[in-house]
Structure 1
């Protein structure tokens, strides 16, 4: 008996026109709902009902193979590999409750910590260096690696289910799943202590859940409709809570939702504005509010677990740091008074404010003339030339100089102890920045005479309250020149030999710049019997969750955008679809073993080629329709633009935004887009090799057009194409497997044979 696709209405069911009901994410069910049928038509497209046994068998086989390929030799190597130095370390910090800083949200790292907690690991090992031994340090690394390997394995059946739910044939689903199953990059990245397995599975689950939700669009607000809407939101939250590039999945789903809502707004649908508002609010709740609340929840857990002072302290403000137990700011900071001898330190470069008797040269290297004043520089080491006395603009009477605290907004002078001069800035260009002002010092007779105003500086505490007292370590501030309104600033580029290659200090006209921050390192003049030296027990301060959250968000985005330094294995997005570069993860010289992160060239090139084919098909179909030629039947066209177009949108959304980024990029950033390209490949296998139309147009006796089923499509061509593609992909996987698993045994000649496009492989000699 011929059967219809799952969920297809039988004769007499109400149908929608394609113009009113087309949308992203639809599959064969949607196409069939839109296709008018003749009275005697049994089915518009042949598909088995439900989830037949052969689908279940194939799904089970693919899932088993996924677990085998991901868990094969997962205990090798027994050393820290590539970015395991970061994410293993973060898991250890979670287990110890020690505060750390990372540019990625906490969800994926919390999963590693959960796995460590399950196996009783205490976090003693800090994953400091690639190549450090797990065995010697007693680390349950196999358990850590098992978590991403399990998630990576589950990605394969999810890909298969996406194809099946969209109504594609079994060979199409097998093709798409196999491209992920036997991909060396997916295997290599998801069997190590890395975040990408969580990211990719969450992205795939988002697509699957949205497809299931979209298929229920004709039964809105029912149990199943709400279930899949909320599950889509949960999956989206997992994506964005793992890495911020998860926003690209939001773009994919958001575009599909926007098209769906646009179709619902059509007056021909007969939907009232009140009902449309309900649809809009439901989607906003399920796909925006729910994901955001879950996203905040993981940060709440993050802050709750990390209660101790740690290596992440320096990235946060003093107010944040004082919420952590055992923090140096809480234990060691003291108030700063006038006439204290202090050492000022730059927050970013850690250089001390320094001066010495040598002067600036008459001319700089570019020919500009300097003031020839005394040099003021940044110096990285503790030295008496770093000592400055904080003075008031007008000296206090002798009997009123004790216990006069320096406060936020105060105007001060800085007196250099070793040269008996005062700090000054004036309208002379600095050595490296012609637009910035030079800093120098002047003798006391000029400091309190004709140059007095040029020696005045204002203390502006970061996030400080009015008249808040300045403290060592905890009080971060900008030092603003009172006359010219520039901020004291330094940068890492060393000055020439005439300044002993120390850092330049200048007046930055961009006062708002975050790198203008300084703090008081210590007070060398503080006497032992000074009451400020009496250390009393200090309670950990409280800061609201949202203050912590917004501060951490600012720091994360700032440092993520600052990842612009070069890396020997960094690559550009234009290289990724063609697999022109890989990444060396690990090498062991003694046994000539190496792990080289690289995709399966056969699978990547096939997928990339078919992406171009799909773009060509879209273009050709549009042109032929303009010329009155209708080469595709309506069901095929609907599926091409809806389901396959949805996959293509997912690929584009996860790929093209990287061209706009200025940060370091690597091949693994393409993995979500590669998964989408595998879905496109599976869909095109069916489109190209199942060439018979799904329906045909006939003219009735009264001259009206009608559509009848074209009969059962043969899948022989699709199965042959699937067999060829899978055979080639498996061959590519086996060929590069030694580099994926890091197994020994490759001779130099075999290594050279795998340098297909000049890959930077080791031990080729």
Structure 2
């Protein structure tokens, strides 16, 4: 007899049903195969587990969104974008074990080099420019995925952390989505730039630290404990982050300030409790004398924990530096970059270096002349109509970026050609500086320069026709600086390594420049020697990748490479001297205080001239608006608390009122803050200020390696304040508010979508997007 579907259903009924009811008929003794039973039971248990834990569904949803937003199409473009150029070349240098100097810590690059090596990259290809194609054997997808997965983990961690802070799940989901669809974070996380990895380490460090600090400084003495797990996670993640990017020192500062504030607050609460116990005592008797009072809290463990985190961070930084120099142990043409002479002069010219090998400057060398004032710029020829009486006049200008107008050719005066120096420029050599393109010379002219006090200074300009002029106006004597201790005797000029002055004999003045109303004016200073100059090779005059010098350049530099110990010592000294106090500008710098009004400088990182595709880094304006509201609440809360304490100090209060206020101080501080009913909002406000304010003052762009950390703290603080503000609302109203805010964020995301992914219609969509027109984005032209 053939079994029907009903018979089959009854056959497997013991697996699908629960315990049978009493009095019912017994089931058939025949059982299904054991493998099928296990699979069905596993499916049933998994379904019940997902049903019980609703967070799992949210994590699955966030995982799908991360794939759609950040992982999808990550292999495009198959060209180097922005700082991917440096990542690509640095990875190749590690694999080739070729010496190079990097001011930033190198652990992230070393990890990326290890990934590339595991996937079979040989490191032979050298990229010359941003936009170069990526070779087929280079694991570009794997390196981008390393950064992308790290950034996606931050999204999950944000949701998990907000839930642990007892923020409503709806607000926690909103916070995770804000981190997910911020335009700048999405753009950078889809590149090889290890920004996502850095943010992941900072977020893990922050979460573990707050958990550790909360347990250590609990107001209830019975709840205080030293959480070793969270402490060691914080210790490891902070140390690794500091070895990947020195900006992680701001996270160390945040941990220190937060720990000090928490310890001070707990100590004050302990003191209030002790005072309450003293006031509550009656007339002393024998029983009261035997009672012992509770001692005030002494945060010895907190200080020890903070010191250990700082100490281990610097130890790991030193260890990675040593490992970096040991890995790059193969001698090669770039060994000179680790010499004392190069390290001494590295910062003055690092934005202008094109020639990988120091060359001697001789008659006919085409060079770029750079000011030794930090990032002031290089000389260039600039058209002007300020002196119409001089035919074909051009004023000498100072500019940070090199253009064809920055190249000058050195011609030695006839009186110096017979000095027997083999064409080298030594101390006192008289030269002419002729512009490569216009063939005009730098001349001095006696006239008053506006804005330079009341004395007469020789102005500096170029003349196209010197037949009627005085040849002495264009004669500049090379005066090698005495502070260059490495040059002794009959020293001569070499690229990078020589400081010198340019002295005009006719007017007895030195070539100098001064900042007048934000403009660098070039003039000839009769009062003192003025600024020192450096010479670097013109990039068009030498093939830097094939190591071929032109016929006018002779590479006879005798700079010797340093020992391993010397390299390590010099690398650490250079980083400590310059990186932490780097006030240099950046061509793509953007002022964050302009963002709330929708203005600023976006950072273009890639463009395709063939099909007008464009990728730009810029923030999601809705997230900027919301986090600006949060920051305003932080400032308002602090000001309000300060004013309230000042006013209350002048108002007399009764003793009973004082006792009631002191008792209220014993309650949980998380529920009793005056800022926005959530103390963690203040904590994240401190983190946001620490990670945001320094970069506002030092003219560094806020999109890379600093804006993301500040943004993460701002999102956390905003979610805490939003949860506190909507906690007592009706569920319908609360949901409507959050949906409205999410709609704003999604609208801005749709507006920035074309420049995040570089779609085929980038320029058309960019021009149509109203929110993008106010930004400095080249929507209608290819950059």
TM-score, length-normalised on structure 2?
Answer: 0.61
Q: Distance in 1 between matches of 2:200 and 2:456?
A: 50
Change (3 A) 1:124 1:507: farther
CA shift in 2, pair 1:99/1:575, >3 Å:
farther
Counterpart for residue 561 of structure 1: 583
Q: Is the 8 A contact 2:162 2:172 kept in 1?
A: yes
- Which secondary structure does the structure 1 equivalent of 2:157 belong to? helix
Q: Deviations over 1:74-102 (max 9, x none)?
A: 01112222332233233233333333344
Q: Could you tell me which residue of structure 1 aligns to residue 632 of structure 2?
A: 612
What secondary structure is seen at the aligned counterpart in 2 of 1:237? helix
Counterparts of 1:616 and 1:69 in 2: how far apart (Å)?
Answer: 36
Residues 390 and 415 of structure 1 are in contact (CA less than 8 Å); yes or no, is this contact kept in structure 2?
Answer: no
Q: Is the 8 A contact 2:748 2:771 kept in 1?
A: no
Moved more, 172-181 or 630-639: 630-639
Q: TM-score, normalised by structure 1?
A: 0.62
Query: Deviation string for 1:118-155 (max 9, x for gaps)?
Result: 222222333332332225x6533222211211111111
What stretches of structure 2 of length at least 5 have no aligned partner?
Answer: 1-50, 275-292, 346-354, 372-385, 388-405, 421-425, 433-444, 460-476, 503-508, 515-521, 538-553
Contact 1:94 1:113 in 2 (8 A): yes
Q: Secondary structure at the match of 1:585?
A: strand
Map 1:265-414 to 2 at 5 A.
Answer: 265-266=267-268, 268=271, 276-286=299-309, 288-307=310-329, 308-309=331-332, 313=336, 317-318=340-341, 349=369, 380-381=408-409, 383-385=411-413, 414=428
Aligned pairs for 1:254-653 (under 5 A) are: 254-263=256-265, 265-266=267-268, 268=271, 276-286=299-309, 288-307=310-329, 308-309=331-332, 313=336, 317-318=340-341, 349=369, 380-381=408-409, 383-385=411-413, 414=428, 460=482, 462=484, 515=532, 541-542=562-563, 543=566, 545-554=568-577, 556=579, 560-563=582-585, 567=588, 570-581=589-600, 582-613=602-633, 615-616=635-636, 636-638=671-673, 640=677, 642-653=679-690
Contact 1:390 1:413 in 2 (8 A): no
1:672 equivalent in structure 2: 709
| Preserved CA contact (<8 Å) 1:205 1:235 | yes
Q: 1:355 is matched with which residue?
A: none
Map of 1:165-204 to 2, 5 A cutoff? Answer: 165-204=164-203
- Cα distance in 1 between the residues matched to 2:742 and 2:180: 10
Secondary structure, counterpart of 1:232 in structure 2 = helix
Q: Residues of 2 paired with 1:246 and 1:152: CA distance?
A: 16
**CA RMSD between the two structures:** 5.6
Find the counterpart in structure 1 of residue 47 from structure 2: none
Which residues in structure 2 correspond to 1:697-736 (within 5 Å)? 717-736=733-752
State the partner residue of 2:39.
Answer: none
Assess, with a 3 A threshold, how the Cα gap between structure 1 residues 207 and 509 changes in structure 2: closer, same or farther.
farther
Partner of 1:251: 253
Mean CA deviation greater in 152-161 or 753-762: 753-762
Contact 1:349-1:491 at 8 Å conserved across structures: no
Paired residue secondary structure (1:595): strand
Q: Deviations over 1:504-562 (max 9, x none)?
A: 99899589x8x567999xxxxxxxxxxxx9x999985412622332135435568x433
Deviation at 1:646, TM superposition (A): 0.8
Judged with a 3 Å threshold, the aligned counterparts in structure 2 of structure 1 residues 311 and 491 are, in CA distance, closer, same or farther, namely farther
The 1-side partners of 2:239 and 2:695 are apart by 21
Match of 1:149 in 2: 148
| Residue 119 (structure 2) aligns with | 119
Q: Figure out how many residues of one structure are paired with residues of the other and give that number.
A: 591
| Residue equivalent to 1:21 | none
Q: Distance in 1 between matches of 2:418 and 2:126?
A: 42
Q: Which has the higher contact order (CA 8 A, sep 6+)?
A: 1
Question: Following superposition of structure 1 onto structure 2, how do residues 83-122 of structure 1 map, counting pairs within 5 Å?
Answer: 83-122=83-122
Counterpart Cα distance in 1 of 2:210 and 2:748: 31
Aligned-partner Cα distance in 1 for 2:414–2:301: 66
**1:292 Cα shift?**
1.4
Q: Which runs of 5 or more structure 1 residues have no equivalent in the other structure?
A: 1-50, 323-328, 335-340, 352-363, 366-377, 392-400, 402-411, 419-427, 439-454, 482-487, 494-502, 521-532, 693-713
State the 1:192 CA deviation. Answer: 0.8
Could you tell me whether the CA contact under 8 Å between 2:607 and 2:615 is conserved in 1?
A: yes
Q: Structure 1 residues 255, 109: CA separation in 2 closer, same or farther (over 3 Å shift)?
A: same
Counterparts of 1:231 and 1:218 in 2: how far apart (Å)?
Answer: 18
Show the counterpart of 1:738: 754
- Closer, same or farther: CA 224–594 of 1 in aligned 2, 3 Å: same
Distance in 1 between residues matched to 2:415 and 2:362, nearest whole Å: 6
Note the C-alpha offset of 1:664. Answer: 5.3
Cα distance in 2, alignment partners of residues 82 and 111 from structure 1 = 20
